[in-house]
Amino acid sequence: MNAFSHKSIKLNLYGLLLALFVFSTNFTNAQDGEKLFKSYCVSCHYAGENVLVGPGLKGVTEKYEMSWILEWVKNSQALVKAGDAQAIAVYEKYNKVIMPNQPVNDDEIKAIFAYVDDYNANAAVAAPSASSSDAVVATSDSAVEDDNTTYYVFFGAILVLLIVISVLRKVNYSLNSVIKNGEIEDEKGMWSALVHWGASNRKFVVLFVLGIIVLFAKAGWDTALNVGVYTGYEPEQPIKFSHQVHAGANKIDCNYCHSGARNSKSAGIPSANLCMNCHTYINEGQQYGKEEIAKIYKALDFDPVTKTYGDNTTPIKWVKVHNLPDHVYFNHSQHVTVGQIDCAKCHGPVEEYTVGKQFAPLTMGWCIDCHRETKVQTEGNGYYDEIHKRLPEDLKAKYLENGVINVDELGGIECAKCHY
C-alpha cells in the first residue's frame, strides 16, 4: 500500500513535470497567439464553437489542412475565385460575408490556432465546474419562487381557518340555543346582548364608532385619490426583458432603443429589428438562457443557426405601462429635446428595474408641480434675449423680477396646452 502510493506520487510528479514542459513550450506560442487572436480575429470569431459573424474556430485545425488555412486567412477571396470547393462551401455557409485579408504571416497564424486549440482544451476542463455554478444559481431561483408560494399558502390557510372558526361558532351557538330552548333561534340574541351592553357604556360606544368612521373615511379618501393612478403598475411582459441588464449593467443609453423620444410624441417601444442589432450575435442571456431571446427570433422568424429571416413573423404584444388618459396631450420630444429633462426624472431609476414599471403618478398635480418648479433654459437663446428686451416694463417687473423664468410663466399651466 505504502510502496504503491510512493510509486504513484513519483509517477504523478513525472507526469506533472512533463505536462509543465509541454505546457510551457506551448505557452509562449499560445500567449502570442492570444494577443494576435484578440487583435485580428475576435471581432468576428469565437475561439469556441459558437458562430459569431464567422464560424467558431474550435476544431478548425482538425477539419482543414494547415496549408489551406494559411491561404484562407491571408486571402480568402482568391481561394473562392479560384474555385476551391472547400473555400466556396465556407463562403456560402456563412452568408457570403467576405473575410478581409489579414496582415499576418504563417507563424502568426499557426500561433493563433495553437491558442485556439489550447483555449478549447482548457474550456473542456473548466466546463464541469461552470455547470455546477449554474446549478447553484438555478436552485436559488427556485427558492425565491417557493417563498412566494408559501406566502400565498399562509394567507390561504388563515382565510380557511377564519371561515372554519365562524362556521363552528355558529354551529355552537345554534346547538346551545337548541339545548336551552328546544328550538333553533337566529343570532338576534347575541346582538340584543351587545345592544344591552352598549346602552350602559354609551361614551365608549360613541368614541369607538367615531374612531372607526375616521379610519374608514381616511381609507376611503386615500382610495379615491388613487383611482386612475397607476404608480407601481408593473405588468408581466411577453418577453422577460430586463432594463437592469441593458441600461444598468451594459449602460446602453435610453435613447438607443427608445429612439422616438428625441423627435416625436411617443418614446416608442423598439421594434424587434432593433433588438437584432445585438441579438443577431448574442443568443443567450445571463438570467433566462436562450429561452427569452428565442422569443425575439420567433417573432421575426429568424433562424439563429443560419442567420436568415423567414416570412412567418408574429408581432410581440408588449403591454403598455404608461397610460395617460385620452384627454391629456403629452409630447416626449418637448420634454427630452427642448426641455432637456432627464428620463429618470419621470421614469425613475429604470436601470434598476427588471420589469418595466410606472414610477411617477402621472397625475395633473404632479405635472403642474414640475411646471411650477422647472426653470426654462433661456441662456444663449437669442429668441428669449430679444423677447425679454421687448417686454413692456410692467410685465418685465412681473416675470423677470427674480431673473428666473419657470415653465408656468410661459403658459406651462394653461389648460389648453395639454387639454384640447
Partner 1 sequence: MKNNRIINTVFVFAAIATSTLASCEDPNSPGVEYMPDMYRSPAIETYVDYVYTDSMSARLPVANTIARGYKPYPFENTLEGYEESGQKLKIPFKITDEMLAKGGALYASFCKHCHGPKGQGKGSINHPAYSAVPSYTDETKNRRGGRSMSELEPGHIYHVIMYGLNAMGPHAAQLNEEERWKIIAYVQTLQGKNKTEESDNSDAVVTAD
β-pair partners for 302: 309
Is residue 415 near partner 1 by the rule CB under 8 A? Answer: no
Tell the residue number behind the cell numbers 491561404, with chain if given: 71
Is residue 333 a contact residue for partner 1 (CB under 8 A)? no
CB 362 within 8 A of CB 322: yes
Note whether 263 and 333 are within 8 A (CB): yes
Q: Is 212 in the site for partner 1 (CB under 8 A)?
A: yes
The single residue among 61, 86, 120, 271 that binds partner 1, judged by CB under 8 A, is 271
Question: Shortest distance, CB of residue 320 to partner 1, whole angstroms?
Answer: 5
Residue 359 φ/ψ, nearest 5 degrees: -95, -50
Q: Which residue has the cell 430679444?
A: 386
C-alpha cell at 9: 506520487
259 binds partner 1 (CB under 8 A): yes
Non-local CB neighbours of 246 within 8 Å, separated by 6+ positions? 252, 257
Q: By CB under 8 A, is residue 302 in contact with partner 1? A: no
Mapping DSSP to helix (H, G, I), strand (E, B) and coil, where does residue 340 land? coil
Indicate the burial class of 58 (C-beta count within 10 angstroms; 0-12, 13-18, 19 or more): buried
- For residue 252, state whether it binds partner 1 (rule: CB under 8 A): yes
DSSP string, 15-82: HHHHHHHHHHHHHHHHHHHHHHIIIIITTT--SSS--SSS---TTHHHHS-HHHHHHHHH-HHHHHHT
315 is a contact residue toward partner 1 (CB under 8 A): yes
Calpha distance 330→264 (Å, rounded): 10
Q: Whole-number minimum distance, CB 8 to partner 1, in Å?
A: 40
The two beta strands, 308-309 and 302-303, are antiparallel
373 versus 385: smaller Cβ distance to partner 1: 385
Binding mask 43-62 vs partner 1 (x if CB under 8 A, - otherwise)? xx-x-----xx---------
Sites for partner 1 among residues 344-363 (CB under 8 A): 355, 357
**Residue 330 beta carbon to partner 1: minimum distance, rounded to whole angstroms:** 11
Between CA 315 and CA 238 the distance in angstroms is: 11
Q: For partner 1, which is the closer residue by CB, 289 or 411?
A: 289
Does residue 384 sit in helix, strand or coil?
helix
C-alpha distance from residue 199 to each of 193, 194, 207, 325 (Å): 10, 9, 14, 52
The site that binds partner 1 (CB under 8 A) totals a number of residues, namely 67
CA distance 213 to 205: 12
Q: Which of 105, 176, 273, 308 binds partner 1 (CB under 8 A)?
A: 273
Rounded Cα distance, 68 and 298, in Å = 38
Examine residue 331 and tell whether it contacts partner 1 (CB under 8 A).
Answer: no
- Contact between 380 and partner 1 by CB under 8 A: the answer reads no
> What is the smallest separation between the CB atom of 235 and partner 1, expressed in angstroms?
5
181 in contact with partner 1 (CB under 8 A): no
Binding to partner 1 by residue 174, rule CB under 8 A?
A: no
> Does 403 engage in binding with partner 1 (CB under 8 A)?
no
Interface segment toward partner 1; rule CB under 8 A; list 61-69, 213-221, 293-301, 384-392: 213-221
Of these, 15, 156, 211, 228, which contacts partner 1 (CB under 8 A)?
228
Q: In the complex with partner 1, which residue's Cβ is closer, 26 or 77?
A: 77
Q: Does 338 sit near partner 1 (CB under 8 A)?
A: no
The only residue of 20, 159, 278, 344 in contact with partner 1, by rule CB under 8 A: 278
203/327 with CB nearer partner 1: 327
Where does this chain touch partner 1 (CB under 8 A) — which range of 111-119, 315-323, 390-398, 402-410? Answer: 315-323
Q: Please say which residue, 292 or 409, places its beta carbon nearer to partner 1.
A: 292
Report residue 19 as a C-alpha cell.
505536462
Give the separation between CA 354 and CA 347, rounded to whole angstroms: 14
Binding site for partner 1 (CB under 8 A): 38-40, 42-44, 46, 52-53, 97-98, 100-103, 188, 191, 194-195, 198, 212, 216, 219-220, 223, 226-230, 232-236, 249-256, 259, 263, 265-266, 269, 271, 273-274, 276-278, 280-282, 315, 317-318, 320, 323, 325-327, 355, 357
